[in-house]
Amino acid sequence: MDIPSFLATNYFGNSVQGYILALLITGIAMVLFVLFKQIIIGRIEAFSKTTKTKIDDRIVEVLNHINWPFYVVLPVYLGFRTLTLSGPFLRIFDLLLAVVIVYYVIKVLDIIMNIGAEMYIVKHQEKDRTFDRSFVDIIRVVVRILLWVIGILFVLDNLGIEITPLLTGLGIGGIAVAFALQSVLADIFAYFTIQSDKPFKIGDFIIIGTDMGTVKYIGIKSTRIQTLQGQELVVSNRELTDVRINNYKRMKKRRIVFSIGVVYETPTKKLHKILEILKDACAAQEKVTVDRVHFAKFGAYSLDYEVVYYLDSSDYNEYMTTQQNINFAIREAFEKEKIDMAFPTQTIYVNK
């Protein structure tokens, strides 16, 4: 048999020449891909090490994650698609290519997402060491699941499987699950609300109704608060988004109002002196700005003064220490001026 006749010989609907051409195309494509990975990507990687920017490093990281299955399947597909293939063989090649492409597209997108997430976390942790990365990690998992679901649906669609009934079934099943787990889902959505809106974060001192304490942990379903008494308070996230929260960690300065009363027998001259005593007692403290001091009213048992000042601190202990120092200063000044503080008493006047 001569060579032309041999090349023209037909097997399974294709000539020997066609098979040789397919193998040749496959081989050339493989060589080109290998050269691209070894030379082009290698040079890009070497160049990226000489630059200060991180963008080229990220590009190299993404390209290096594209491995041999892609460089084998795609050349084989390009080569054998030149042949006349029967239905089953053609579907196998199409399915193989779809699986490989979907896998690497999802992998590349996942790598890009991870790089972006880590950059976001590092940036915010530099600003705030208490930054909670759990929210970013959960978003990353959710996006990864969505990518794989979309990828699987794409492969099924390429196989000729009708995905509309499948999506309908998933929708009905999702509604049933949502009804069964509505309380849990409410807490999960509340968690996303807390993480995105950030009414408080770990380390903040908050007051919820009659409870108060420091936030220790923010979970998917509940948040844990260390109370002043020492016990741990567990509150559902749904409840935290439905109530008013006082966050004292966000407070830059504290406004303090307090009153003090002296007896009615105090001379008018000393009543004027008390204004100076109260103002000086507050102004002498660090981080204190006096707003006002007034002889406010004639009380039932005393002549009442009202003092308002601002403390440039949100720390409760510092506030209590400052108020204590003010109280001592007032007490000492009153003793020196022989001014008597009032307490509930009753004087009866009898006419004769």
Decide if 192-250 and 254-337 have a common fold: no
pLDDT score of 5:
67
Stretch 85-106: mean pLDDT? 74
Cβ contact 112:168 at 8 Å:
no
What are the sequence ranges of the domains in the chain?
3-160, 192-250, 254-337
Strand order in the sheet with 232-236: 232-236, 222-227, 211-218, 205-208, 245-247
List own/partner pairs for 254-257 with CB under 8 A and 24 or more apart.
254/310, 254/311, 254/313, 254/314, 254/319, 255/291, 255/308, 255/309, 255/310, 256/308, 256/309, 256/310, 256/311, 256/319, 256/323, 257/306, 257/307, 257/308
Tell me the Ramachandran region of residue 247: left when phi exceeds 0, alpha when psi lies from -120 to 50, beta otherwise.
Answer: beta
- Could you report the per-residue pLDDT of 44-67, keeping only the tens digit for each? 777 777 777 666 677 777 777 777
- Could you report the per-residue pLDDT of 114-134, keeping only the tens digit for each? 878 877 777 777 776 666 666
Q: Which residue has the tokens 């699987």?
A: 152
* pLDDT greater than 80 at residue 17: no
> Phi, psi (5° rounding) for residue 127?
-80, -35
* pLDDT greater than 80 at residue 260: yes
Q: What is the 3-state secondary structure (H, E, C) of 259-328?
A: EEEECCCCCHHHHHHHHHHHHHHHHCCCCEEEEEEEEEEECCCCEEEEEEEEECCCCHHHHHHHHHHHHH
Q: From CA 189, how far away is CA 93, in angstroms rounded?
A: 43
CATH of domain 254-337: 3.30.70.100
Q: From CA 265, how far away is CA 271, in angstroms rounded?
A: 10
Q: From CA 253, how far away is CA 134, in angstroms rounded?
A: 31
Q: From CA 237, how far away is CA 187, in angstroms rounded?
A: 5
pLDDT score of 306:
96
In percent, how much of the chain has pLDDT > 90?
22
pLDDT averaged over every residue in the chain: 79
Stretch 16-25: mean pLDDT? 76
* pLDDT greater than 60 at residue 245: yes
Q: From CA 158, how far away is CA 62, in angstroms rounded?
A: 26
pLDDT score of 54:
67
pLDDT score of 179:
54
Q: From CA 249, how far away is CA 338, in angstroms rounded?
A: 41
192-250 topology per CATH: SH3 type barrels. (2.30.30)
